[in-house]
Each structure stands twice: as structure tokens, then as C-alpha cells.
Amino acid sequence: MKMSHLVGRRTKDFPRDAELKSHQFLLRGGYIKQLSSGIYSMLPICKKITLKIEAIIRDEMNKIEGQEVLMPVVMPKSIWEESGRYSGIGTEMVRFDDRTGSPHVLGMTHEEAVVHMVRDDVTSYKQLPLMIYQIQTKFRDEKRSRGGLIRVREFTMKDAYSFHQTEDCLGEYYQEVHSSYERIYKRCGLTNVISVESDTGMMGGKVAHEFMYVNACGEDTLILGEKSGYKANKEVASTHFKYDAEDFKDLQEVHTPDKSTIEDVSTLLGLKQTQTGKVVLLTHPEDGKLIVLLLRGDRTMNDIAVKKALMINEIEFAEEDLIKDAGIYPGFGSLLGIDLSKVHLLIDESVVDCPNIVVGANKKDYHVLNFNFKRDLNAGQIGQYSFVQEGDLVIDSDEEVTITRGVEVGNIFQLGTKYSKDMKATYLDNNGKQQNFIMGCYGVGVGRMLACLIEEHHDDYGPKWPISVAPFEVHLCLLDAKKEGIAQRGLDLYKELKAHGVDVIVDDRNEKTGFQFADADLIGAPIRMVISRKTIKNDEFELSLRGSKDKELCSIDSAVEAVKAKIAELKAQI
Ligand code: ATP
Ligand code: MG
């Protein structure tokens, strides 16, 4: 590639709205151009990187017997109705009618399409297990796109789907995909990736892991036990509660005028927030009953856990009428003295053994001291319905949790028979009986991974691409190109490098040194070659690594060998 013809404008100006380094450099380096909110064009250097990332992914998928296919972006409503997701998914899915008025959607994922593909084509257990994958565009009308390529509305995903006869077979293959993903991130140069237990959602399935690039810029919160090896997304993480045993004291009403928040009540009574209890009041979307969640005053409801426990998709805070109907006094509410048959009762583990806590008295301006769950209520569905927080203990361990953030760069999922049952996809087993396929699904976001690679590898001047995915392996700068035959010698060398399979860009623009170097930094090729008036005197060039001050002089005649040796050295380090 010649810089003089490269499409994509580089700029010194810092984009005003871009907070993340990756977003800044993608814009400043002429990698991407925004067309609309969350919708970007990828310019040549960005496309080159994605091709290299995709080649690594493809290679790893093929190693585990993946069969590459391409499913359509536009799909008829009918298959989404079969799975029940047409109504289950909200406005993230784009829906439209074609010219005949027939309803269609834009694919935001492809479980339906893959089951449609397989269900009449794979008929026998002899064909199983198998895995199908694609590298394809997804469209999701995300509420908040952000961070350049981190969260966009249109993006490329590698999505894979496996089909099995048994849960055991799925479990084994799942482990293979897990290892395959570890190799993908490593080979692309993304090192700070961990897999964490994750939510399986409402769509069935028991086991799921997310691959998280650990970085403060992430939207996900991760709960880690560094010694015990515990790793889970906050959405599903659990902790355990240890309390020193205390004698149960008598219940006692206490006047707490106008003190309806945990903070006010605990201050007034001189208690810690951990010595209080509170109720969160919600409406059940199906039967309209009140849901009462009892948890320790300092804890926050985990809505995902609540939804899972009640097998519902949505929850909303309850209206005052519904609360009062159940005999609960808002602001001073508790479970004391109410008709429990009128409510769905969830008890967070934090309160089960927490001794002598203060709770509402269901009476204006009053609380009750010394509530003990096992003595005073002992009812409801006990579970962990609050988020793990700072100071909590890792489950089955005495270690305190470490809380950090991450960007989800991939996930793997044991789906089970959810889609094959809903969409009636079966094969004949060895007894000639029809069985539903047991499925797994596995995703990697290509553009998001590219952005994370910049987050991990950059300096103040631009990205420092790992050699395996760099847009170019070598950046050849020709300084004072018009003098002393530098341009000719440089362009000849450029051709020679290309002929030997080196991925090289040459700066043939006759621009000033600082200008050329700033552009080279933004393009981020790992190896830099410079021919200048000084080096040409001895028919030499300067060889250095991106971001390093160490330079060596090498003869142009043996440039190909020198550069190839450097490339091999860098590749060996990945
Ligand atoms: P998130 O929780 O970040 O929205 P997701 O759970 O919706 O992700 P999947 O549907 O499982 O993600 O998609 C698989 C992969 O595709 C994700 O791990 C991520 O790398 C990528 N991905 C998902 N949504 C986006 C998006 N809006 N922009 C860029 N990449 C995305
Ligand atoms: Mg999402």
C-alpha cells in the first residue's frame, strides 16, 4: 500500500465526544467513519485488521470441525414466531415489510436461521455432533451505542452453533470451544481476557461463560476471587453471609418520625445499615400480584436473579394501591402482620441469619427492632437476590471478593433443546426414534475485539498493533524522498518486500519527518523502516519497533532477510 493513495484521513485533533482511547484512535487514524449513531464505515486499514482477526477465528473454528456457512441478514418473521422470540424481543430487533407486505426482520442473532438450515438437512444421529459457524453482519437497534466500535448497532459477529445427541457430548464440545476461544484471543494479541460464569437468560440453557477483556472501560462488572479462582459476572455472582450468633431479642416498636430511608433510620437509631432490613416492592407481570423482596438494608436488588426465580421477563416497581392492598405501609413497610398469600415472597440470603435487625412496622413513623427472619417470618423463597458488593466473601471461601470491570468480547452458551423443541428440529437416533437436537451457541464480536486490542496496546501517539492483526507488518518511511535517489531506492525496496510476502506500507508522499512519523504512529505497524539522507549514504536503512527508541542500521541489500527475521521474532512472542 502506498500512503499517497490510502483512503482515510488522519488528524491531530482529538474528537470531542470520544472518551475511550480506542474510539479516539479509530477516528484520528482514519480507521472508521461514522455514518449514523452506532453505524460506521470501516476504512481500508480497519478492514485489513478485521480480515486478519477473522482469519484467526476461522482457522480456530475449522480446527474444531466447524463448517462455515452464510445465513441471511434479512429473515422472515415466521421463523422468529416459531421460536417465540418475535414477541419476546423488544425494539432492539428491526422489523419491516417487504414490497409484498410480508413481514421481515434484520438478524440480530441466528439461532432461528441455523435451526431452519439444519432441521431438514441433518436427519440422522450418524451426522452428529456437528458445528456450523458464520462471520456475518448483525443489526441491533441498541438503546445506547457507545465507545466507537465497543457497542454499535451494526457489527460483525462470528456466531457458531453446535448440535449434539447428548448433554455430555455438548459439555465436552463446550470445553473445546472454550479452549478455542482462549487461543483466538491469545493469537490476536488480546492477553487480559478471562472467562466468567454468566447469565443464561430466560431462554433455557444451564451453563454459560462470557469472555471478558478486563479493563475499567467495560460495562460489565466482574466478581473475582483471586485466590480461589472464582470468576463470575455480577449478574450471576453469589456470595455467602457469615454472622456471629446473637440471642434473639424481643421485637420492639420504635418511633422513627419521617425516617423512611435506610440511611435516616440507621442514623437515628445508631445502627449500621447492615443491621437493617428493607423490602423492595414489585408487580408480577402475569398475575398482577405484589412481589415482596426482603433484603438487608445495605444491599441492592439483583433484578436478573429476581426474574429468574419467578420465571418472568419483566419487572416493574409496584404502584401504591397494590402495596396498600397487601397491608404494607409505603416507607415503613415490612412483612410483619401481612397476609402472605396475597404476595410472591422472595427472601434474600443476606437476611436469613442476620440477627436482630430493624424493619418497618407497617405503620406511619414506626419501625420494629430485633426482627429475626427464622423466628418472625420463616416463609418465602430463599435465594440470592442481591448483587455481590465490596466486602462480601467469595462463595465457599473466606476471601473477600475483588470487583473489577470488563468488556464482553465473546460468549459461549449451552442452549439445550430450547430452539430445537420450539422449532421442531429432530433427528432419528440409533433406535429410529425422533429426538430434538441438543444445542450450544458461541459468539465473538469482531469489531469490539479490535477496539479492545487498541485499549490494550497503545501509547500516547496511537495503537501498537500486535503483529498477528496489524494492518501492516512494516511501515517504510522515505524521508527527503526527492533527494539522493531515496524515492527510487525506497520504492524498489517496497516492491521487493511485497514480492517476498511482507505486508508493507510505504510513505511516498515526500512529507516532513514529524508528519510521517505521527501518521506511522497512528497506523501502528509494529516494525518501522526509515530511509533518509543519512542512511542512504551507506545504502542503509534504520530498523526499529513501534514505540521503541532502539534503532539498528541495516544494509538495504539484505533488508528482506532483516525484516523477515524481525517479523518472525515478533510472531514468536505471541
Ligand atoms: P452485550 O451484553 O455486550 O450486549 P450480548 O450478550 O448481547 O452482548 P451476544 O448476543 O451474545 O452479546 O453476542 C456475541 C458477541 O457479539 C458479544 O460477546 C460481543 O463481543 C459482540 N456484540 C454483541 N453486541 C454488540 C454490539 N452492540 N456491538 C459490538 N459488538 C457486540
Ligand atoms: Mg446485547
Q: CB–CB of 319/291 below 8 Å?
A: no
Model pLDDT for residues 227-245, shown as the tens digit of each residue: 999 999 999 999 999 999 8
- The pLDDT of 539-552, averaged and rounded, is 95
Locate the domains of the chain by residue range.
18-237+404-454, 252-387, 472-572
Beta strands in 297-396 (DSSP E): 316-317, 343-348, 357-360, 366-371, 381-383, 393-394
| C-alpha span between 185 and 448 (Å, rounded) | 12
Q: Is the CB of 445 under 6 A from ligand 1?
A: yes
SS3 content of the chain, % helix, strand, coil (to 5): 30, 30, 40
- Mean pLDDT score of the chain, rounded to an integer? 95
Q: What is the CATH number assigned to the segment(s) 252-387?
A: 3.90.960.10
Locate cell 455467602: which residue? 240
Q: Show the cell assigned to 359.
A: 424493619
| Ligand 1 touching residue 443 (CB < 6 A) | yes
Report whether 423 contacts 112 (CB < 8 A): yes
Q: Is 195 in the pocket of ligand 1 (CB under 6 A)?
A: no
Q: Which helix (H) or strand (E) holds 29?
A: none
User: Ligand 1 in contact with 411 (CB < 6 A)?
Assistant: yes
- pTM, full prediction: 0.93
Ligand nearest to the CA of 144: 1
Q: What percent of the chain has pLDDT over 90?
A: 92
For residues 548, 551, 552 and 554, what is the CA-based torsion angle, rounded to 10 degrees?
A: 100
From the CB of 157, is ligand 1 less than 6 Å away? Answer: yes
CATH fold of 18-237+404-454: BirA Bifunctional Protein; domain 2 (3.30.930)
Q: How many CB atoms lie within 10 A of CB 456?
A: 19
State whether the beta carbon of 220 lies less than 6 angstroms from ligand 1: no
Question: Torsion-angle region of residue 432: left (phi > 0), alpha (psi -120 to 50) or beta?
Answer: left
pLDDT mean over 93-113: 97
pLDDT of residue 202: 59
Nearest ligand to the C-alpha atom of residue 199: 1
* Confidence band of 354 (pLDDT split at 50, 70, 90): very high
17 C-alpha to center of ligand 1: Å?
Answer: 22
pLDDT score of 203 = 54
**pLDDT at residue 350 greater than cutoff 90:** yes
What's the pLDDT score for residue 205? 67
User: What tens digit of pLDDT does each residue of 283-319 get?
Assistant: 999 999 999 999 999 999 999 999 999 999 889 999 9
Position in ligand 1 atom list of the atom nearest CA 152: 28
Q: What kind of architecture, by CATH, is found in domain 472-572?
A: 3-Layer(aba) Sandwich (3.40)
Question: Would the pLDDT of 435 be above 70?
Answer: yes
Average pLDDT (474-485) is 91
Residues 161, 231 contacting (CB under 8 angstroms): no
pLDDT tens for 487-543 read 999 999 999 999 999 999 999 999 999 999 999 999 999 999 999 999 999 999 999
Tell me the pLDDT tens digit for each residue of 153-205: 999 999 999 999 999 999 999 999 999 999 999 999 999 999 999 988 755 56
SS3 assignment for 265-296: HHHHHCCCHHHEEEEEEEECCCCCCEEEEEEE
CB 339 within 8 A of CB 327: yes
d(CA 226, CA 229): 5
Tens of pLDDT along 315-347?
A: 999 999 999 999 999 999 999 889 999 999 999
